[in-house]
Amino acid sequence: MAEHPQHVAVVTGATGGIGTAIVHRLVVGGAVVIAHYASNSDRASKLQREVWELGGTCSMVQADLRTEEGVGQLVDSVDDLLRSQPTHALHALVNNAAKLLGPSFSDATPAQFDEYFALNVKAPFFLTQRLVTRMHPGGSIVNVSSAGAHFSSPGDIVYAMSKAAIESLTMNAAEWLATRAIRINTVIPGFTDDGHIAFRIDEVREYLSTFAVLGGISDPETVAEAVAFLLSAHASRTTGATLDVSGGSTLGARPAPHLSLRALAATRSIDQPGTGGNQGAERSDEDSIVYE
Ligand SMILES: NC(=O)c1ccc[n+]([C@@H]2O[C@H](COP(=O)([O-])OP(=O)(O)OC[C@H]3O[C@@H](n4cnc5c(N)ncnc54)[C@H](OP(=O)(O)O)[C@@H]3O)[C@@H](O)[C@H]2O)c1
């Protein structure tokens, strides 16, 4: 996006590990970023400083996207920026914020189900519906899915279902959005070191790396690069598509049977990775490990 420095990109979940990398990448590419977060105001302030150090511009917007009001607040902040900066044009939306992993088929409650779908599905749907009316022709949307939607995940069934739904959003919205010259695509990460403490534990990394046929854990920058590509003119003929950066985690490889994250969790004070990246390790039993 470097050739269009006044392009505005909205990134949800910017305080998470992957969201932060996406913001950095888009700022380096010349975008003005509206970086959304929910609760981590320390991380939000740090991200804003990092953007300034990169020589970029970024406004932080706090909103709970589980609610209609929260979605409205983010849309209003886009309107405020476009009104105050008439030379700016909304060019990109990255639906990245999510509640990660869990709950299991046996334990899920209706309230949990609603919470996952409110944040992971309903918010991207209505943000997309509302922001495309403000979007510049040639604009682009990227939805962040998960490899977990592509293999059997009874322990994370609600999360996996929500990610299947966001991929369906991509596919089903593409034709209508094309009439406005707007593209929409999905990126599929596998396990990605988002800064969660669990990724610092060798046994956890070993276990999680067995999901990918390429082995290893992804870094957030790799996901961000894929997002930037899909937003760029290099992907001008790509819409309704998925770009899999999961290291082949969607190909059906199964975790090594001698490893079990649940067993690890029983001996160590960790919960599942990817449930809040930079916020530290204090979690409730509700967030217990489900991968095994
Ligand atoms: N990390 C992985 O292994 C992995 C694998 C596959 C797919 N993904 C996908 O990649 C994306 C980013 O994941 P991540 O690992 O970077 O996650 P993360 O570090 O846990 O960050 C989650 C982000 O979502 C925000 N969020 C949480 N609750 C919210 C709410 N109620 N309203 C609005 N925003 C809320 C958080 O805001 P605050 O921090 O301000 O509360 C944070 O910015 C997600 O869509 C996830 O499903 C991740």
pLDDT given for residue 153 in this prediction: 85
User: pLDDT under 50 in the chain at which residues?
Assistant: 1-5, 275-292
Residue nearest (by alpha carbon) to ligand 1 atom 15: 274
pLDDT given for residue 291 in this prediction: 38
Residue nearest (by alpha carbon) to ligand 1 atom 35: 38
**pLDDT, tens only, 210-228:** 999 999 999 999 999 999 9
Q: Return the structure tokens found at 52.
A: 């300034």
The domain ranges of the chain are 6-267
Q: Which of 65, 96, 115 to mutate to test the pocket of ligand 1 (most atoms within 8 A of CB)?
A: 96
CB of 65 closer than 6 angstroms to any ligand 1 atom: yes
pLDDT given for residue 57 in this prediction: 93
Q: How far is the CA of 15 from the centre of ligand 1 (A)?
A: 8
**pLDDT, tens only, 54-80:** 999 999 999 999 999 999 999 999 999
Q: 282: how many CB neighbours lie within 10 A of its CB?
A: 10
pLDDT given for residue 258 in this prediction: 55
pLDDT given for residue 260 in this prediction: 59
CB of 96 closer than 6 angstroms to any ligand 1 atom: yes
**Owner of token pair 């217990």:** 288
Would residue 207 show up in a list of annotated catalytic residues for this protein? no
Q: How far is the CA of 202 from the centre of ligand 1 (A)?
A: 23
CB of 192 closer than 6 angstroms to any ligand 1 atom: yes
Q: How far is the CA of 19 from the centre of ligand 1 (A)?
A: 7
Q: Return the structure tokens found at 128.
A: 């997309």
Q: How far is the CA of 274 from the centre of ligand 1 (A)?
A: 7
CB of 153 closer than 6 angstroms to any ligand 1 atom: no
Q: Say what the pTM is.
A: 0.91
Q: Which of 100, 121, 191 to mutate to test the pocket of ligand 1 (most atoms within 8 A of CB)?
A: 100
How far apart (Å, rounded) are the C-alpha atoms in residues 89 and 100? 31
What does DSSP assign to residue 215?
-
CB of 218 closer than 6 angstroms to any ligand 1 atom: no
Coil/strand/helix, residue 7: strand
pLDDT given for residue 16 in this prediction: 98
Residue nearest (by alpha carbon) to ligand 1 atom 44: 98
**Fold of the 6-267 domain:** Rossmann fold (3.40.50)
Q: How far is the CA of 16 from the centre of ligand 1 (A)?
A: 5
Coil/strand/helix, residue 88: coil
Extended beta strands in the chain, E state:
7-11, 32-37, 58-62, 89-95, 135-144, 183-189, 242-245
